[in-house]
Amino acid sequence: MKSLLFQLILTSFVLLNSDNNVNAGVTSVFIREEYPSKDIPLDNEVFVVPTGHNSPQQVHITQGDYDGKAVIISWVTADEPEASKVQYGTSKGKYEFTAEGKMTNYTFYKYKSGYIHHVLVDDLEYDTKYYYKIGNGDSAREFWFETPPKIGPDFPYKFGIIGDLGQTYNSLSTLEHYMQSGAQTVLFVGDLSYADRYQYNDVGIRWDSWGRFVERSTAYQPWIWSAGNHDIEYMPYMDEVVPFKSYLQRYPTPHLACKSSSPMWYAVRRASAHIIVLSSYSPFVKYTPQWEWLRQELKRVDREKTPWLIVLMHIPIYNSNDVHFMEGESMRAAFEEWFVHHKVDVVFAGHVHAYERSYRISNIRYNVSSGDRYPIPDKSAPVYITVGDGGNQEGLAGRFRDPQPDYSAFREASYGHSTLEIRNRTHAFYHWNRNDDGKKVPADSFVLHNQYWSSSLRRRKLKKHHLSSTLGRIASH
Ligand SMILES: *[C@@H]1O[C@H](CO)[C@@H](O)[C@H](O)[C@H]1NC(C)=O
Ligand SMILES: *[C@@H]1O[C@H](CO)[C@@H](O)[C@H](O)[C@H]1NC(C)=O
Ligand SMILES: *[C@@H]1O[C@H](CO)[C@@H](O)[C@H](O)[C@H]1NC(C)=O
């Protein structure tokens, strides 16, 4: 009876909404010929090894602390070990400061990695352009990056979101379009190189080629990493059974700065955003380290300082594609209630090789006894966005569930990337940009209203309105 009533309420809600067309999701019928889903051959110029003995290659940076005053600079030297040293300063060619870090190397099957360098450069000034130099003599190379503004509620900042990138011509197209977007930091939602599609020594070789491929962006701005299933590389047939071995050797994260016990899950604050990175492939059920950490981290979120609360993960919680359908249920069961309670603004995921955006919905009333089981519109819930469309060799996930579920606002099986341009504490502009015959075409966009500030401002406005109309009434009497 109770569930019947609930059904009735839900049905009338859906009817009401479809009346004024709020809830009519769009399945885009756009179809284009893509490049064949094949990796770019190793001798292509996109993978070129820089000239010079032991020249630094695969240069990439990520945020190095909690608040954006540090970066970790990483690179590989292929020929021999050398000091992990970064020279840097605020004007080109004048390197007043030096930072030193650590060198590491590993084997994968019979592949021996190059010498992998990780250097923490900290105590930086906010909002400043830094130039840096790595390597020795004629083989030295120079790059630059810009630090974000200090933590505060109204600093504009533009993020890019990329997932499931790989190293095909489609990946190249995504990367080039992203680089034209003017975004300042990448939020990467997992599955980096797809090197695990290879066997034996080619796995390591394809990690190296990917590092050189993305260097055009990763050497100049931080990519905030999260890992996906293609980064696990559990390959017992060649005695490789340590999960995320290559990934962890190559892509460090600042997890200690946020008291996380693992580089796989962590948080950073950047300008007006608090970004939480979760690991879909590490334990997260109740009482596990990731669960305990997230519970504490959510308490540290201060929306007065960082109004925007963003969560990254690999497996989408809401996905209406046939591919990976319902794989996110376990994490939904673990964390959805917290996301709603803490008013997360947006959850970005990858995994499904297509694009999809949800309405604000939740299914936290799901109850295995009572029968409540449908997602319902929920103003406190995040928007869920899947951007697994970077363009890797597995191709697109073209079959969506029919009919389109009520929670799905827009979906399209094309390659592309997204940008989230934060303007101030209340407004952010979101775009999904499809790769369309070499052009970047905005195909889905909306204004994201901040969950915390929009509602409290609204409340204040209401109060003011109420007060003035009451005063008005008193005055007219
Ligand atoms: C790391 O490099 C050193 C020096 O070349 C070498 O002796 C060692 O075997 C390498 N370690 C691994 C795990 O490959
Ligand atoms: C689930 O439903 C049952 C039966 O209606 C109810 O007794 C119980 O309190 C519900 N549990 C939760 C966690 O809401
Ligand atoms: C935030 O930016 C939006 C869009 O530019 C603007 O309309 C709004 O008034 C701004 N809000 C605040 C509180 O400054």
Q: Which of 324, 342, 353, 431 is catalytic?
A: 324
Position 272, amino acid:
S
The Å distance, Cα 425 to ligand 3 centre, comes to: 8
CA 410 – CA 331 distance, rounded (Å): 22
Q: Can you give the pLDDT at residue 465?
A: 62
- Dihedral (CA of 169, 175, 181, 186) sign: positive
Q: Report the SS3 class of residue 432.
A: strand
Which residue carries 């697109």 as its tokens? Answer: 396
**Non-local CB neighbours of 172 within 8 Å, separated by 6+ positions:** 40, 46, 213, 391
Q: Are 89 and 131 in contact (CB under 8 A)?
A: yes
Q: Within a domain: residue 434?
A: yes
Q: Within a domain: residue 364?
A: yes
Q: Are 392 and 353 in contact (CB under 8 A)?
A: yes
Q: Within a domain: residue 416?
A: yes
Residue 18 CB less than 6 A away from ligand 2:
no
Range of the domain at 452: 23-52+152-461
Any idea what the CATH number is for the domain that residue 229 is in?
A: 3.60.21.10
Q: Report the SS3 class of residue 117.
A: strand
Q: Within a domain: residue 128?
A: no
CA-based end-to-end distance of the chain = 51
Residue 472 CB less than 6 A away from ligand 1:
no
Give pTM, 2 decimals: 0.92
Q: Within a domain: residue 114?
A: no
| Full pLDDT tens readout for the chain, 477 residues | 344 433 433 333 333 333 333 467 899 877 766 667 899 999 999 999 999 999 999 999 999 999 999 999 999 999 999 999 999 999 999 999 999 999 999 999 999 999 999 999 999 999 999 999 999 999 999 999 999 999 999 999 999 999 999 999 999 999 999 999 999 999 999 999 999 999 999 999 999 999 999 999 999 999 999 999 999 999 999 999 999 999 999 999 999 999 999 999 999 999 999 999 999 999 999 999 999 999 999 999 999 999 999 999 999 999 999 999 999 999 999 999 999 999 999 999 999 999 999 999 999 999 989 888 899 999 999 999 999 999 999 999 999 999 999 999 999 999 999 999 999 999 999 999 998 766 777 799 999 999 999 876 665 665 666 556 555 454 444
Q: Within a domain: residue 64?
A: no
**Which ligand 2 atom lies nearest to the CA of residue 2?**
5
Q: Are 359 and 376 in contact (CB under 8 A)?
A: no
**Which ligand 1 atom lies nearest to the CA of residue 107?**
14
Number of domains in the chain: 1
Please give the helix or strand (H or E) that residue 463 lies within, else none: helix 451-476
Q: Within a domain: residue 13?
A: no
Residue 427 CB less than 6 A away from ligand 3:
yes
**Which ligand 3 atom lies nearest to the CA of residue 424?**
1
Residue 85 CB less than 6 A away from ligand 3:
no
Ramachandran bin of 204, using left for φ above 0, alpha for ψ from -120 to 50, beta for the remaining angles: alpha
Residue 79 CB less than 6 A away from ligand 1:
no
Question: Please, is 11 exposed, middle or buried when counting C-beta atoms within 10 Å of its C-beta (0-12, 13-18, 19+)?
Answer: exposed
- Catalytic residue status for 324: yes
Q: Within a domain: residue 342?
A: yes
* Ligand with an atom nearest the CA of residue 372: 2
DSSP notation for 337-401: HHHHHTT--EEEE-SSSSEEEE-SEE-TT--TTT-----EE-TTSPEEEEE--S--TT-----B-
